[in-house]
């Protein structure tokens, strides 16, 4: 039977944020190679569900403290969230039992932010996460290659941002799994107002 050993909540929050810092996308500054200029993070997957049919989607991760922000074009995940905002996120690296690793499981409520429903917050996140610069860099690449007339660049930017959604996930539970090569893993659990280690 498992037991709960209480730990300082702030310490666990700092540890979770450190994992998010290491695994989330970051602004990349000026583009120096083909594609977008974001500094891409590790693997992240979003789980949604409607009508008892789960769907898992690889997705770009950003964050603001403990709050994950995900980036998504229109598709099944957005349709699912509109009908059922309860979601789960997995943040991880390729499993390697020979080294120390940390991963996150996050459960929470998703909220969509786009140019239509909240343009101020949408634009603020677009800039803060470096996506405006990344998108303009990719459009400029098409202009330089002769694939898009320069006078159409701004219209292309507007079209792309109109289709885009940010998915804010307000966490209700976060599990940090700390794996070691030479001893049992440690499972730390964050919930609003408490933090604990699950022991066997």
**pLDDT tens digits along 64-113:** 999 999 998 888 999 999 999 999 999 998 888 899 899 999 999 999 99
- What token pair was written down for 42? 């590790």
Q: Which fold has domain 3-193?
A: Pnp Oxidase; Chain A (2.30.110)
Place of tokens 């702030």: 10
**pLDDT tens digits along 151-163:** 998 999 999 999 9
Under DSSP, the state recorded for 39 is B
Mean pLDDT of 181-193: 94
Asked whether the beta carbons of 68 and 171 are under 8 A apart, the reply is yes
pTM: 0.91
Q: Transcribe 50-114 into DSSP letters.
A: ETTEEEEEE-EEEEETTEEEEEE-SSHHHHHHHH--EEEEEEE----TTS-EEEEEEEEEEEEE-
- Domain limits of the chain? 3-193
């Amino acid at each position: 039977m498992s037991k709960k050993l209480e730990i300082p909540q702030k310490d666990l929050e700092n540890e979770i944020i450190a994992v998010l810092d290491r695994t989330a996308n970051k602004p990349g500054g000026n583009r120096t190679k083909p594609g977008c200029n974001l500094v891409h993070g590790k693997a992240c997957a979003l789980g949604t569900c409607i009508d008892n049919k789960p769907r898992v989607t690889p997705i770009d991760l950003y964050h603001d403290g403990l709050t994950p922000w995900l980036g998504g074009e229109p598709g099944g995940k957005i349709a699912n969230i509109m009908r059922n905002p309860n979601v789960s996120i997995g943040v991880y690296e390729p499993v390697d039992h020979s080294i120390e690793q940390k991963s996150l499981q996050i459960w929470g409520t998703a909220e969509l932010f786009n140019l239509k429903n909240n343009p101020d917050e949408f634009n603020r996140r677009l800039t803060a996460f470096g996506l405006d610069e990344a998108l303009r860099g990719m459009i400029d690449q098409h202009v330089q290659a002769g694939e898009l007339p320069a006078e159409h660049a701004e219209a292309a930017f507007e079209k792309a941002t109109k289709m885009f959604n940010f998915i804010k996930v307000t966490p209700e539970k976060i599990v940090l799994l700390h794996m070691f090569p030479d001893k049992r893993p440690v499972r730390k659990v964050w919930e609003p107002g408490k933090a604990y280690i699950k022991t066997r």
